[in-house]
Amino acid sequence: MPAERLSVVVTRRLPDSVETRLKELFEVELSAEDAKMSREQLVEAMKRADVLVPCVTDRIDASMLAQAGDRLKLIANYGAGVDHIDLSSARQRGVLVSNTPGVVTEDTADMTMALILAVTRRIPEGLAHMQSGQWEGWAPTAFMGHRIGGKRLGILGMGRIGQAVARRARAFGMQIHYHNRKKVHPDIEAEFEATYWDSLDQMVSRMDVISVNCPHTPSTFHLLNARRLQMMKPGAVLVNTSRGEVIDENALTRALRAGDLGGAGLDVFENGAEINPRLRAQKNVVLLPHMGSATVEGRVEMGEKVLINIKTFADGHRPPDLVVPAMV
């Protein structure tokens, strides 16, 4: 008699190939509407699932986990970041948490460079001008931006994505600087000819471009606060493809409106989809709808990692991408 298959609840639509394979392997409940679940819906989903497959839009806190009951055994997150899940509470309740690390590294680094170029070369302004039908031909002083070759790039967080950004930026002729919890291996520093700054204050005051590539944790919340934003060079550019909470968005908006910064490129926001309307109004700001990992290839690979994590768990082993490997 075949073993009973795990019950899996998926909170959002995933690529067709991933959903099909989930259906083949497990008793899976797919999301037909692809709408964000409410707190109540998430709790009910956890009550009826052995495995929950959430994503970054699903906030799972201690109160919700306490209501989930005893059936839930694994949260197989679709994405690398897990700051939307209360990991401590999951551990206390014996719920494993896995993620999908490394998959979106190259895609996010590509988007970082795209935002740097978009802001410094005023690409959205030029596009809007063309689409409005106002363009009357080339002019010597029209839409002048800045070249990025020779500029200093300060990378905040020199992990996988930070290093991928550094590799691309070097190809554009940028000088690489970084701030991290600790220095990276000397071979990595040598590869990028990178300069390490133990003091974030000292780094931000000297850079032409700052790229945020660190996760959101209690220690990185508003790491770029009003004081540090004021320390940035006049005309400097700030790019964030990591987590919106790392930047004080209101302080950034004030700095941009005052003309203290050259511009900003943001793919993530402090309050999710609720973006400061004054930030939207700035011409020197490029805002994207969290597109950093939005490639067909990347999203399929994320799903494949979810599948491997669940299948490994179903076979009685620890998922390979366990976030809290020693907590149960």
pLDDT for 52-107, tens place per residue?
999 999 999 999 999 999 999 999 999 998 989 999 999 999 999 999 999 999 99
- Considering the domain architecture, whether residues 201 and 225 belong to the same structural domain is answered as yes
Instruction: Specify the pLDDT at position 3.
Output: 61
Residue 324 has pLDDT above 70, yes or no: no
Query: For residue 213, is it within any domain?
Result: yes
* Separation CA 72–CA 43 (nearest Å): 10
In which residue are the tokens 């206390």 written? 92
Instruction: Specify the pLDDT at position 272.
Output: 86
* Separation CA 254–CA 251 (nearest Å): 5
Query: Which run of H or E residues covers position 30?
Result: none
Q: What is the mean pLDDT of residues 267-293?
A: 93
pLDDT for 14-66, tens place per residue?
999 999 999 999 999 999 888 999 999 999 999 999 999 999 999 999 999 99
- Considering the domain architecture, whether residues 188 and 308 belong to the same structural domain is answered as no
pTM of the model: 0.89
pLDDT for 123-152, tens place per residue?
999 999 999 999 999 999 999 999 999 999
The tokens for 239 are 């790019």
- Considering the domain architecture, whether residues 51 and 63 belong to the same structural domain is answered as yes
CATH no. for residue 150? Answer: 3.40.50.720
Parent domain of 11? 7-103+296-314
178 CB-near residues (< 8 Å, 6+ apart): 154, 155, 156, 157, 158, 162, 166, 184, 194, 195, 196, 197, 203
Query: For residue 321, is it within any domain?
Result: no
Query: For residue 255, is it within any domain?
Result: yes
Return the exposure string of 11-29: e unless at least 16 CB atoms fall within 10 Å of the residue's CB, then b: bbebbeebbebbeeebebb
- Considering the domain architecture, whether residues 160 and 263 belong to the same structural domain is answered as yes
Query: For residue 249, is it within any domain?
Result: yes
Query: For residue 323, is it within any domain?
Result: no
Instruction: Specify the pLDDT at position 328.
Output: 35
Q: How many structural domains is the chain composed of?
A: 2
- Considering the domain architecture, whether residues 235 and 89 belong to the same structural domain is answered as no
Query: For residue 328, is it within any domain?
Result: no
* Separation CA 239–CA 287 (nearest Å): 10
- What residues pair up with 211 in beta bridges, in sequence order? 155, 239
Residue 325 has pLDDT above 80, yes or no: no
Q: Nearest CA to 303 among 7, 8, 45, 22?
A: 22
The separation between CA 50 and the C-alpha centre of its own chain, rounded to angstroms, equals 27
- 154 secondary structure, DSSP code: E
- Considering the domain architecture, whether residues 166 and 256 belong to the same structural domain is answered as yes
215 CB-near residues (< 8 Å, 6+ apart): 81, 83, 157, 242, 243
- Considering the domain architecture, whether residues 159 and 220 belong to the same structural domain is answered as yes
pLDDT for 148-166, tens place per residue?
999 999 999 999 999 999 9
- Considering the domain architecture, whether residues 147 and 27 belong to the same structural domain is answered as no
Query: For residue 119, is it within any domain?
Result: yes
289, with CB counted inside 10 A (0-12, 13-18, 19+), is exposed
- Considering the domain architecture, whether residues 130 and 68 belong to the same structural domain is answered as no
- Considering the domain architecture, whether residues 262 and 140 belong to the same structural domain is answered as yes
Query: For residue 320, is it within any domain?
Result: no
pLDDT for 221-270, tens place per residue?
999 999 999 999 999 999 999 999 999 999 999 999 999 999 999 999 99
The tokens for 313 are 């768990």
- Considering the domain architecture, whether residues 28 and 156 belong to the same structural domain is answered as no
Instruction: Specify the pLDDT at position 327.
Output: 39
- Considering the domain architecture, whether residues 115 and 225 belong to the same structural domain is answered as yes
